[in-house]
Structure 1
Protein backbone atom coordinates (compact mmCIF):
# COMPACT_ATOMS: atom_id res chain seq x y z
CA UNK A 1 0.00 0.00 0.00
CA UNK A 2 1.38 3.40 -0.96
CA UNK A 3 1.90 6.01 1.70
CA UNK A 4 -0.95 8.50 1.52
CA UNK A 5 -0.30 12.18 0.91
CA UNK A 6 -1.27 14.12 4.03
CA UNK A 7 -1.60 17.91 3.90
CA UNK A 8 -2.63 20.34 6.61
CA UNK A 9 -3.41 24.04 6.37
CA UNK A 10 -2.57 25.87 9.60
CA UNK A 11 -2.16 29.25 11.26
CA UNK A 12 0.44 30.42 13.73
CA UNK A 13 -0.64 30.05 17.39
CA UNK A 14 -3.57 27.80 16.50
CA UNK A 15 -4.20 25.29 19.28
CA UNK A 16 -6.40 23.10 17.08
CA UNK A 17 -3.65 23.02 14.46
CA UNK A 18 -1.13 21.96 17.09
CA UNK A 19 -3.46 19.23 18.31
CA UNK A 20 -3.96 17.84 14.79
CA UNK A 21 -0.23 17.92 14.03
CA UNK A 22 0.51 16.24 17.36
CA UNK A 23 -1.88 13.40 16.53
CA UNK A 24 -0.32 12.92 13.11
CA UNK A 25 3.19 13.06 14.60
CA UNK A 26 2.25 10.51 17.27
CA UNK A 27 1.38 8.10 14.45
CA UNK A 28 4.68 8.78 12.67
CA UNK A 29 2.91 10.29 9.68
CA UNK A 30 4.74 12.70 7.42
CA UNK A 31 2.67 15.62 6.24
CA UNK A 32 3.01 18.83 4.29
CA UNK A 33 2.03 21.94 6.22
CA UNK A 34 0.81 25.13 4.60
CA UNK A 35 0.79 28.21 6.85
CA UNK A 36 -2.13 30.46 5.90
CA UNK A 37 -1.71 32.96 8.76
CA UNK A 38 -1.19 35.87 6.41
CA UNK A 39 -3.49 34.61 3.65
CA UNK A 40 -1.87 34.46 0.25
CA UNK A 41 -1.81 31.76 -2.40
CA UNK A 42 -1.89 28.86 0.08
CA UNK A 43 -5.09 30.18 1.64
CA UNK A 44 -6.57 30.67 -1.82
CA UNK A 45 -5.66 27.05 -2.64
CA UNK A 46 -7.27 25.85 0.61
CA UNK A 47 -10.48 27.71 -0.24
CA UNK A 48 -10.41 26.28 -3.75
CA UNK A 49 -9.98 22.75 -2.42
CA UNK A 50 -12.65 23.09 0.26
CA UNK A 51 -15.08 25.90 -0.59
CA UNK A 52 -16.51 27.57 2.48
CA UNK A 53 -13.65 26.47 4.72
CA UNK A 54 -13.07 29.42 7.00
CA UNK A 55 -11.26 27.75 9.89
CA UNK A 56 -8.01 25.89 10.34
CA UNK A 57 -6.72 23.33 10.40
CA UNK A 58 -8.02 21.92 7.16
CA UNK A 59 -6.68 18.42 6.64
CA UNK A 60 -6.52 16.45 3.40
CA UNK A 61 -5.53 12.80 3.01
CA UNK A 62 -4.88 11.81 -0.60
CA UNK A 63 -6.69 15.00 -1.66
CA UNK A 64 -9.84 14.01 0.27
CA UNK A 65 -10.98 16.73 2.69
CA UNK A 66 -11.06 15.32 6.22
CA UNK A 67 -12.03 18.50 8.04
CA UNK A 68 -10.38 19.93 11.11
CA UNK A 69 -8.83 18.71 14.33
CA UNK A 70 -12.11 17.47 15.80
CA UNK A 71 -12.89 15.40 12.71
CA UNK A 72 -9.37 13.95 12.67
CA UNK A 73 -9.64 13.00 16.36
CA UNK A 74 -13.09 11.46 15.76
CA UNK A 75 -11.69 9.29 12.96
CA UNK A 76 -8.97 8.15 15.33
CA UNK A 77 -11.44 7.33 18.13
CA UNK A 78 -13.59 5.37 15.66
CA UNK A 79 -10.57 3.37 14.52
CA UNK A 80 -10.81 4.69 10.96
CA UNK A 81 -7.78 7.00 10.84
CA UNK A 82 -5.10 4.31 10.72
CA UNK A 83 -6.68 2.77 7.61
CA UNK A 84 -6.74 6.17 5.88
CA UNK A 85 -3.09 6.65 6.80
CA UNK A 86 -2.07 3.20 5.63
CA UNK A 87 -0.99 2.11 9.11
Structure 2
Protein backbone atom coordinates (compact mmCIF):
# COMPACT_ATOMS: atom_id res chain seq x y z
CA UNK A 1 0.00 0.00 0.00
CA UNK A 2 1.20 3.48 -0.85
CA UNK A 3 2.27 6.05 1.74
CA UNK A 4 -0.53 8.59 2.23
CA UNK A 5 0.04 11.93 3.95
CA UNK A 6 -2.80 14.31 4.78
CA UNK A 7 -2.65 17.86 6.08
CA UNK A 8 -5.93 18.24 7.93
CA UNK A 9 -8.04 19.89 10.60
CA UNK A 10 -10.29 18.24 13.15
CA UNK A 11 -13.09 20.65 12.24
CA UNK A 12 -12.99 20.22 8.47
CA UNK A 13 -15.84 18.23 6.89
CA UNK A 14 -13.83 17.89 3.67
CA UNK A 15 -11.01 16.26 5.63
CA UNK A 16 -13.46 13.73 7.08
CA UNK A 17 -14.92 13.09 3.62
CA UNK A 18 -11.47 12.53 2.08
CA UNK A 19 -10.48 10.12 4.86
CA UNK A 20 -13.76 8.24 4.43
CA UNK A 21 -12.99 7.72 0.72
CA UNK A 22 -9.49 6.51 1.54
CA UNK A 23 -10.91 4.05 4.07
CA UNK A 24 -13.42 2.84 1.47
CA UNK A 25 -10.48 2.16 -0.87
CA UNK A 26 -8.71 0.07 1.77
CA UNK A 27 -6.34 2.60 3.31
CA UNK A 28 -6.16 1.84 7.02
CA UNK A 29 -3.42 4.24 8.08
CA UNK A 30 -1.84 7.44 6.91
CA UNK A 31 0.48 10.15 8.12
CA UNK A 32 -1.70 12.98 9.35
CA UNK A 33 -0.42 16.48 9.95
CA UNK A 34 -2.98 18.52 11.85
CA UNK A 35 -2.82 22.27 11.21
CA UNK A 36 -5.23 23.30 14.01
CA UNK A 37 -3.66 26.08 16.07
CA UNK A 38 -0.39 25.69 14.20
CA UNK A 39 -0.03 28.60 11.79
CA UNK A 40 3.61 27.70 11.14
CA UNK A 41 2.58 24.23 9.92
CA UNK A 42 -0.20 25.67 7.74
CA UNK A 43 2.28 28.19 6.27
CA UNK A 44 4.77 25.41 5.53
CA UNK A 45 1.99 23.44 3.82
CA UNK A 46 1.00 26.53 1.79
CA UNK A 47 4.61 27.03 0.65
CA UNK A 48 4.73 23.37 -0.39
CA UNK A 49 1.44 23.19 -2.32
CA UNK A 50 0.45 26.80 -3.00
CA UNK A 51 -2.84 26.41 -1.11
CA UNK A 52 -3.92 27.23 2.43
CA UNK A 53 -7.02 25.02 2.55
CA UNK A 54 -7.19 21.52 3.99
CA UNK A 55 -7.14 18.71 3.32
CA UNK A 56 -4.03 18.53 1.20
CA UNK A 57 -3.32 14.95 0.25
CA UNK A 58 -0.14 13.26 -0.96
CA UNK A 59 0.21 9.68 -2.19
CA UNK A 60 3.79 8.40 -2.36
CA UNK A 61 4.99 12.01 -2.38
CA UNK A 62 2.72 13.06 -5.26
CA UNK A 63 0.45 15.99 -4.41
CA UNK A 64 -3.12 14.95 -5.19
CA UNK A 65 -4.78 18.13 -3.95
CA UNK A 66 -7.84 18.50 -1.78
CA UNK A 67 -10.97 16.48 -1.18
CA UNK A 68 -12.58 17.33 -4.53
CA UNK A 69 -9.34 16.45 -6.33
CA UNK A 70 -9.20 13.10 -4.52
CA UNK A 71 -12.81 12.29 -5.44
CA UNK A 72 -12.22 13.33 -9.07
CA UNK A 73 -9.15 11.08 -9.23
CA UNK A 74 -11.22 8.21 -7.88
CA UNK A 75 -14.03 8.87 -10.38
CA UNK A 76 -11.49 8.68 -13.24
CA UNK A 77 -10.26 5.34 -11.90
CA UNK A 78 -6.86 6.72 -10.94
CA UNK A 79 -6.96 6.47 -7.17
CA UNK A 80 -6.75 2.72 -6.64
CA UNK A 81 -3.71 2.23 -8.93
CA UNK A 82 -1.90 5.01 -7.03
CA UNK A 83 -2.77 3.40 -3.72
CA UNK A 84 -1.38 0.09 -5.01
CA UNK A 85 1.85 1.88 -5.93
CA UNK A 86 1.19 1.73 -9.66
CA UNK A 87 1.04 5.46 -10.26
> Do these two structures clear the TM 0.5 threshold for a shared fold by scoring above it?
yes
CA distance in 2, matches of 1:42, 1:60: 16
Structure 2 partner of 1:76: 74
TM-score by length of 1: 0.85
Deviation at 1:47, TM superposition (A): 2.6
Task: For residues 50-86 of structure 1, give each alpha carbon's deviation from its aligned partner in whole angstroms, at most 9, with x where no partner exists.
Answer: 1x21100000011111000000000111111001100
| Structure 1 residue runs of 4 or more that deviate by more than 2 Å after TM superposition | 40-45
- SS of alignment partner, residue 59 of structure 1: strand
The answer as to 2:33 corresponding to 1:34 is yes
CA distance in 1, matches of 2:47, 2:82: 23
TM-score by length of 2: 0.85
* Number of residue pairs matched by the alignment: 84
**What is the alpha-carbon root mean square deviation over aligned residues?**
1.6
Structure 2 partner of 1:7: 5
Structure 2 partner of 1:46: 45
Match of 1:63 among 36, 46, 61: 61
Unaligned ranges ≥5, structure 1: none
